[in-house]
Amino acid sequence: MLGKKNGYKAGLRHETIHKDTGLCRTTIKECLETLNKLNIIKSIRGRSGKTYIVNEVFLRAEKLYEPTQIAVSSTPDSRITTTFKETLSINNIGKIVKSFAGDSQRIISELSKLPIEDLRNEKVNVYLCKQAIQLKEDNERESKATYVNADKILSALSKIKKETNPRYKEKKAYNIRNGIKPWESK
């Protein structure tokens, strides 16, 4: 254990820290590396795990108490006093992203149903919100679009096809010159 008697040394493995704290090993490793870079702790590699030595500059001065001065029972108000309160606000966007984790198309489609202002004000899932805004704008543009009937398009294409055909042009010019009207019956 870590204490003044052993020079603030602790021989720990990442697995032990994981079991005690519940943090993943990657987080533990990154935190220990950060503490090492900041010179708060010093790590010495051992055969099974590392030994961590805490820099005494970062420790508070320990006071030695007589055994009679140490409280044996908790104070009456300590039952209701919260020592640590974590507030984490999860909005609709966070709930949607969490509930459809891994299925980005479904997330984007669900996000596109939310108001644009909520999507623009999001600070955490910015990339997904931008894609949802784009999808929402595309859907609005498509709903307002007016389409031409397919028969009109096909008749216009066939007319263009006829008008650009040189044999058709020759025949039409011949009929006009000679006063022939092929649509009239003989």
Beta bridge partners of 43: 52
pLDDT tens digits, residue range 72-95? 445 554 445 444 444 444 578 888
Share of the chain above pLDDT 90, in %: 15
The answer to whether 93 touches 120, Cβ cutoff 8 Å, is: no
CA–CA separation, 89 vs 174, rounded Å? Answer: 82
pLDDT tens digits, residue range 90-146? 578 888 888 888 888 999 998 888 888 888 888 888 888 999 999 999 999 888 888
Q: How confident is the model at residue 68 (pLDDT cuts 50, 70, 90)?
A: very low
CA–CA separation, 94 vs 98, rounded Å? Answer: 6
CA–CA separation, 98 vs 106, rounded Å? Answer: 12
Q: Which helix (H) or strand (E) holds 43?
A: strand 41-45
101-105 contact pairs (CB < 8 A, 24+): 104/128
Mean pLDDT estimate for the chain = 78
Q: Is 93 helix (H, G, I), strand (E, B) or coil?
A: helix
Q: What are phi and psi of 52, to 5 degrees?
A: -110, 130
pLDDT tens digits, residue range 17-26? 888 888 888 8
CA–CA separation, 56 vs 39, rounded Å? Answer: 11
CA–CA separation, 119 vs 132, rounded Å? Answer: 8
Structure pTM? 0.35
Tokens of 59: 């420790």
Beta bridge partners of 9: 53
